[in-house]
A = this chain, B = another copy of it.
Amino acid sequence: MTGPHPLAAWLERLDSFVRLSGSDKAAILDLPVHVGARPAHHRIVREGQPIETCAVLMSGYAIRYKRTMNGARSIIGVLLPADAVDLQHLYLKCADHDVEMLTPGRLALLDHRDLRAVAAERPAIATAFSIHNQLETAILREWLLNVSRRPARQRMAHLICELALRCDRLGLGVEGGFDIPCTQQQLGDALGLTSVHVNRTLRGLEDDGLVEREQHVIRVPDWSMLARVAEFNAVYLHMLQPRSTDEKR
């Protein structure tokens, strides 16, 4: 059974950041890689531990989070398929946050030394890694703004807009929405709210016809209306090239 290469989707993404030569691509595809399935809640990265491998998400979703000493949690990022989990720590001694699977999924595991080596030999690849990190950092900045200066309703709407857009770009979107199964507790951790308040906020958006819910699927009947509530401006996503032909702003 020889399906597509486990790194194919990731490579395509890197190639969309900077044009990679044939040999650059070959170098990526030749990296020693282990593929493995992981259940939900599997811890991929553990705070405080040295890191030797970098996972690339082949399928499923993952979340980055940090905890305060009294146990409160803040989700600081959502990883979608074709995202690399650990490029953020490529040159750091140990992890400063945790990453875990949100859903079951498959990982392609790479060795940090191999990645550093290939980046050192091939400037275009080093650049692609940098862009990968810079794009994620840009999202992090927006999240900080979101949590620190927007009220709950807008904060929620903003997160939903972002995820709908990111899923849509990957072709993961349910029509006019997305399907990232996360609990209201998890949404709260991503938004700096309690699960109770998430519940009420979601209900408010639903009552106003801005979102529809069905199990864990969130549907967005009118994206531009939700975007207006969220004051959503996609500049921070730095979408380098429209992946599909649709015109969703």
Contacts and interface: CB of A to CB of B under 8 A. Distances in A.
Interface in A132-153: 133-138, 140-145, 147-150
Interface in A215-249: 231, 233, 235-236, 238, 240
B238 A141 contact: no
A24 to B, nearest CB: 13
Interface in A95-139: 96-97, 116, 119-121, 123, 126-127, 129-131, 133-138
Contacts of A140: 137, 140-141, 144
Interface string A170-211: 000000000000000000000110000000000000000000
A17 interface: yes
Please classify the interface of chain A as helix (H, G, I), strand (E, B), loop, or mixed, using the class held by over half of its residues. Answer: helix
A192 B155 CA distance: 14
A42 interface: no
A140 B97 CA distance: 12
Contact of A149 (B68, B127, B141): B68
A59 interface: no
Contacts of A17: 91
Nearest to A147: B148
A224 B77 CA distance: 31
B92 A131 contact: yes
27 contacts: A17-B91, A18-B91, A64-B141, A66-B142, A69-B233, A70-B231, A73-B149, A74-B148, A88-B137, A90-B130, A91-B130, A91-B131, A91-B134, A92-B138, A96-B238, A116-B127, A120-B126, A126-B126, A129-B130, A133-B133, A133-B137, A137-B137, A140-B144, A143-B144, A144-B144, A147-B192, A148-B148
